[in-house]
Structure 1
Amino acid sequence: MSYDLAVWEGEQPISDAAALDCYLKLMDRMESGDHEPTPTPAIMAFVEALTARWPDTDEAWDDDETPWADAPIINNAFGDAIYFAMTYSGAERAVPFAAQCASELGLVCFDPQAESLVSAR
């Protein structure tokens, strides 16, 4: 099992319900393959910020500190969005950092488990 986040470019939704609607459309687009495969510069910058803090290389898998459930996490990016998995213990540390990075880059951060936006603290 993993703890997942979705991060995407776009206007900040006005509510969790609006964010859920955006998320569901995003997942439909991802599953249909109807998207640009190359990550946008903002998504690349987001992933670079995450992996600068917690590398997602083969060597990092030997480190209990890595939060990633799969790697490299850039492989989970699709155009202007990314859907990535963390371990539950890793999510405790990584979710606040991911939300902060997303906020700094003007990206939306969404928690599909809670069906809610994740804001920077």
Structure 2
Amino acid sequence: MSFDLGVWAIPQSISDAQAMRIYEELCEENAASVRDDPGVQRFAQALLEQFPALEDLADEQIEASPWSVSPWVTGSHVIISTVWSRSSEVTQFVLGLTGQYGLVCFDPQNAVVVYHPSTPA
């Protein structure tokens, strides 16, 4: 079992229900509701610098990784799956980055958009 997050760019505020619909579409490989954004790529680069993808790790490093599977990165969104024991650590890092790059972070476990504390909701 993993703890998942979705991250994407959207030009306006978004409700939890709208975010759930978009997240479900993204998981079905339908990105029509989101747009490519350079902030998504910068976010993904910073995320993977902090927590490298599983395929970039040596076998002996994989056990220490927070990933259940490597993040799914596109030009418009990132889908993140962490192990539960590292979910808080990764979520805090993700929120810092989404605040920095002006991106939406969606927590599908609780069906809520999650904002960095300095980001107006």
Aligned to 1:12: 13
Aligned to 2:65: 66
TM-score, structure 2 normalization: 0.76
* Residues 24-103 of structure 1: pairs in structure 2 closer than 5 A: 24-28=21-25, 30-31=27-28, 33=30, 35=32, 40-56=37-53, 57-59=56-58, 62-71=61-70, 73=71, 76-103=72-99
SS across alignment from 2:52: coil
SS across alignment from 1:44: helix
Structure 2 runs not aligned, ≥5 long: none
Equivalenced residue count is 113
Q: 1:40 Cα deviation (Å)?
A: 3.8
C-alpha distance in structure 2 between counterparts of 1:108 and 1:85, whole Å: 16
- Quick check: 1:67–1:90 contact (8 Å CA) kept in 2? yes
What is the one-letter code of the residue matched to 1:25? I
- Quick check: 2:19–2:113 contact (8 Å CA) kept in 1? no
C-alpha distance in structure 2 between counterparts of 1:60 and 1:100, whole Å: 29
- Ranges of 4+ aligned residues in structure 1 off by more than 6 Å: none
- Quick check: 2:41–2:75 contact (8 Å CA) kept in 1? no
Q: 1:30 Cα deviation (Å)?
A: 4.7
TM-score, structure 1 normalization: 0.76
C-alpha distance in structure 1 between counterparts of 2:9 and 2:83, whole Å: 24
Q: 1:103 Cα deviation (Å)?
A: 1.0
What is the one-letter code of the residue matched to 1:31? E
Q: RMSD of the TM alignment (CA)?
A: 2.6
C-alpha distance in structure 2 between counterparts of 1:60 and 1:93, whole Å: 22
Structure 1 runs not aligned, ≥5 long: none
